[in-house]
Amino acid sequence: MIIRSAVLEGSVGEADRARFDAHMAGTVVQAIGRYPGIRAVRLRRPVEAEAGAPPVYMVFDLYFDDLAAMHAALASPVRQEVRGVIAQGMSMFSGKVYHLIMEEDSGR
């Protein structure tokens, strides 16, 4: 299993937080769920952080069977649509966004 995590490191002003969170949790998650071959989309928010940790606001985790499925989804026309949906809310966010692509060990 491949997990592509989009990390939003930064902040959202208090006045915009509810609107931003609702946009990301509703509209954006729904749009991402349209990627071909995607198995799941999860949105995570920190509840605590250790001293010195970066100010991560939220993380989107996109689950794919393998790298080929992830690359196919990112090359699909749906990606441009998703980028547009995400952009509608990003003016409320101050910070940077980066991606981590991880392989999940299926365990024992």
Per-residue pLDDT tens for 3-54? 999 999 999 999 999 999 999 999 999 999 999 999 999 999 999 999 999 9
First vs last C-alpha separation in the chain: 14
* pLDDT, tens digit (0-9, with 9 covering 90-100), for 52-73: 999 999 999 999 999 999 999 9
Q: Could you list the beta-strand ranges (E) of the chain.
A: 2-12, 38-44, 56-64, 93-103
**What whole-number distance in Å separates Cα of residue 94 and Cα of residue 21?**
14
8 Å CB contact between 106 and 9: no
